[in-house]
């Protein structure tokens, strides 16, 4: 896929960067080369390749999925400007 100067100007506008005509010519070639490389990657057969989450295969640590309040509700509500009955008190916003 070839990129023209109009496309480079559009990308520069979207990225909010100012480029000169000389830079536009250089970027046209560079962006075209990048897109050609990406198209080459599409030619690879990746059907039998499992998705990777990391370069190094490892198991993530697991923990028991237990629902609790964290045991720190009183400490947290202590920081509230106006605590009320163990909760944050806020002004009414709906009439």
Domains of the chain: 5-41 (1.10.20)
pLDDT tens for the 95 residues of the chain, in order: 688 999 999 999 999 999 998 999 899 999 999 999 999 988 888 888 888 877 887 888 888 888 887 888 888 888 888 888 888 888 888 87
| Amino acid 11: pLDDT | 93
SS3 42: coil
For 79-93, give one letter per residue: b (16+ CB within 10 A) or e.
eeeeeeeeeeeeeee
Compute the distance between CA of residue 53 and CA of residue 57 in angstroms, rounded to an integer.
8
The CA distance from 19 to 8, in Å, is 9
């Amino acid at each position: 896929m070839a990129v023209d100067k109009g496309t480079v100007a559009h990308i520069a506008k979207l990225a909010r960067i100012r480029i000169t005509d000389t830079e536009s010519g250089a970027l046209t070639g560079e962006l075209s080369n990048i897109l050609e490389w990406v198209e080459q990657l599409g030619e690879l057969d990746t059907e039998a390749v499992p998705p990777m989450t990391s370069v190094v295969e490892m198991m993530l640590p697991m923990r028991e999925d237990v629902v609790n309040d964290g045991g720190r509700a009183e400490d947290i509500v202590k920081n509230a400007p106006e605590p009320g009955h163990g909760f944050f008190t806020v002004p009414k916003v709906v009439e």
